[in-house]
Structure 1
Amino acid sequence: MKALIQRVSAASVTVEGQVVGEIEQGILAYIGLGPEDSLDTAKKMIDKILTYRIFDNEAGKLDKNVQQVEGGLLVVSQFTLMAKTDKGRRPDFGGAMAPAAASALFEQLVDYAKQQYPKVETGKFAAEMLVKADNDGPLNFILETN
C-alpha cells in the first residue's frame, strides 16, 4: 500500500458537479492499494497518516500530527500510485489491486479511519473526481506499508 499525503490549508473532491468531500487545514491522502494489501495494512497506513508529524509546533518545527492540530483528513483512492514506471514511457498498472477487491478494502479503510478520527472525508471510489488542494508548504510525502 502506498499513500501520497499532502499538508493542505484546504482540499475538496467534486464528482459530477457535487462536492463529495471537503476539508480545511489537514491532510489530503491519495491511497494506492496493491494485490497483497489487507485490512491490517490499511489500518497500519491510517494509523501512520494520523500520527505523521507534518504540522509546525510553536517553534516552527514539524512536530505535530493532524489530530493535534484538529485538522481534517481527506482520503482519495488512487490506483495510479501503484503503477510500475521503471521501464518505458507508459505506466503499467499491473501492481494495482483488482477494482472489486480494492473497492471493498478502500471502504474498510475509510470506515477504520472514521472510527479512529472524527474529521474524515473521502472521494468516491472509481469516479471521475476533480480534486482541488491548497498545498501548504508545499509538503508532500510518500508513505508505504507492507
Structure 2
Amino acid sequence: MITIIQRVTQAKVTVNSIDIGTINTGIMALLAVEKNDSQQQVDRLLERILNYRIFADENDKMNLSLRDIQGGLLIVPQFTLAANTEKGNRPSFASAASPELGRELFAYVQQRATSIYPDTQFGQFGADMQVALINNGPVTFTLRCINS
C-alpha cells in the first residue's frame, strides 16, 4: 500500500462538477492498493497518517500530528501510484491490485477511517475526479505499508 500525504490548508475532490469531499487545514492522502495488500496494511497506514508529525508546534518544528491539531483528512484513491516507472516510457501496473481488491480495500479504508477519525472525507473509487489543494509548505511525504 502506497500513499502520498500532503499537508494542506484546504483540499477538495470533485466528481461530475459536485464537490464530494472538502477539508480545510489537514492532510490530503492519495492512496494506491497493491495486489498483496490486506486490511492489516490499511490499519497500519491509517495509524501512520493520523500520527505522522508534519504540523508545526509553537517552536515551528514538525512535532504535531493530524490528531494533535484536529485537522481534516481527505483520502483519494489513486491506483497510478502503484505503477512501476523504472523502465521505458510507459508505466506498468503489474503490482497494482485488481479493481475488485482495490474497491474492497478502499471500502475498508472508508469504514475504518470514519470509525477512528470522524473528520475524514473521501474521493470516489473508479471515478474521474478533479482534485484541488493548497499544499502548505509545501510538505509532502510518501508512506508505504508492506506485508510483514
For the aligned pair, the TM-score class normalised by the smaller chain equals over 0.9
> What percent of counterpart residues are identical?
39
C-alpha distance in structure 2 between counterparts of 1:113 and 1:57, whole Å? 25
C-alpha distance in structure 2 between counterparts of 1:19 and 1:52, whole Å? 27
Runs of 4 or more off by more than 3 Å in structure 1? none
Q: 1:100 offset after TM fit, Å?
A: 1.2
Once the two structures are superposed, what CA deviation does each residue of 1:81-131 show, in whole Å capped at 9, x if it has no partner?
A: 000000001111111100011101111012111111110000110100000
**CA RMSD, aligned part only?**
0.5
Q: How does 1:5-84 map to 2 (within 5 A)?
A: 5-84=5-84
C-alpha distance in structure 2 between counterparts of 1:7 and 1:14, whole Å? 19
The runs of 5 or more residues in structure 2 that have no matched partner are none
The answer to whether structure 1 residue 86 and structure 2 residue 72 are counterparts is no
C-alpha distance in structure 1 between counterparts of 2:44 and 2:78, whole Å? 18
C-alpha distance in structure 2 between counterparts of 1:3 and 1:41, whole Å? 11
- Tell me the TM-score normalized by structure 2: 0.97
- Opposite residue 87 of structure 2, the aligned amino acid is K
- Opposite residue 122 of structure 1, the aligned amino acid is F
C-alpha distance in structure 1 between counterparts of 2:94 and 2:15, whole Å? 26
C-alpha distance in structure 2 between counterparts of 1:51 and 1:101, whole Å? 26
In structure 2, the partner of 1:124 is: 124
- Tell me the TM-score normalized by structure 1: 0.99
